[in-house]
Amino acid sequence: MEQLINKLQKSFKLSDVKHQRENLTFVTVKKDSALDLVTHCRDYEGFSHFVLLSCVDWIEDGKFQLTYLLNNPSGKFDLGIRTFISRDNASMTSAHLLWRQIATYQRELKEMYGIDFPGSPRVDESFILEGWDEIPPMRREFDTKKYSEDTYFPREGRGSNDPATYMKSKLYPDDEK
């Protein structure tokens, strides 16, 4: 794994390398070289299995983190490639030509986070939601509880304990904090 990272380091600018486990490493690259790295890993380093494409919303930094997680089935290790894109007018190059399932991930991210992937097939069709006209729900600023209370007629008299106080009284009655 170390060797591979060193090798990749020569041609790509990797930063923030983190060896999470002996078979899982995360690296960060710039937005424009991310897909080059993914393609390189697929074609030359044996990462033939694409595990997932995920997004993390770092609202305090104003960034989305996209994670491309690749797996090398023969070497039995994973490489997570992180890249950060801006939250405003979020957009990323589409990778749907690399693996067939990426189009589905990109469709989901478009719907859930509002990240655009120009050229990805059916990316503008609704995937999970239907007739959604709010901001994309997985963004951090979307308050699901408030939306639910405003929209779905909460039943009056539903008693809900605040879990924190309830658990505190049950589990840690002596806890001071």
Partner 1 sequence: MMKNSIFNISPDRSKYPEKDAEGNLMVDLDSQKYVKLWQGPQHPGVTGNMSLELTISGDEIIQAKTHVGYLHRGFEKLMERRKYIQCFPTCIRMCVAEPDYNEYNLAAGIEELSGIEVPEMAQWLRTLVLEMARLQSLLRVVPGQGGTFALGLGVQWGVYLRDLILDLFEELTGGRVYHMYILPGGVRGLLPDGFKKRMEETLKKIDEFVVNIDNLMFSNAVFKQRAKDVGIIQPEWIDQFGIVGPNARSAGFMRDVRKDYPYLVYDQLDFEPMTMNYSDIYNRARLRWHDLIMTVDLIRQIMAKIPETGDIKAPTPNVLHWKIPRNETYIRSESSRGEYGFYMVSDGTDKPRRINLRGPSYVHAISLLEHMLINANIADTAAIMVSLQTCPPEIER
Partner 2 sequence: MTNETNNIVEDKLELEDKFLAPENRKRQVTTPDGTIIEVDPLRDYFSDARPQIYRPNSIPVIENFLNWARAESLWVLGFGTGCGSIELPPLTTPRFDAYRFGVQMRATPRQSNVFIISGYLSVKTLKRVVRSYEQMPNPKYVIALGSCTINGGMYYDSYNTINRLDQYMPVDVYIAGCMPRPEALLAGFNKLKELIKAGKAEKANEYVENFDWYKANQKKIIKDWNMPDYNW
Tell me which residues touch partner 1 (CB under 8 A).
20-21, 23-24, 26, 48-52, 54-57, 65, 67, 69, 73, 76, 78, 80, 99-101, 103-104, 126-130, 137-138, 140, 142, 144-145, 163-164, 167-168, 171-172, 175, 177
Q: Which is nearer to partner 2, 2 or 152 (CB)?
A: 152
Strand order of the β-sheet with 15-21 is: 15-21, 24-29, 77-86, 63-72, 49-58
Please report how many Cα atoms fall inside a 13 Å half-sphere around the Cα of residue 36, on the Cβ side: 11
Q: Which is nearer to partner 1, 11 or 169 (CB)?
A: 169
Q: Which residues bind partner 2 (CB under 8 A)?
A: 128-134, 137, 142, 144-145, 147-149, 151-155, 158, 160
Distance linking the first and last C-alpha atoms of the chain: 43
Tokens of 145: 């509880």
Instruction: Give the helix/strand (H/E) hosting 133.
Output: none
| Among partner 1, partner 2, none, partner that 177 touches (CB below 5 to 8 angstroms by kind) | partner 1
**Encoded tokens for 73:** 């089935």
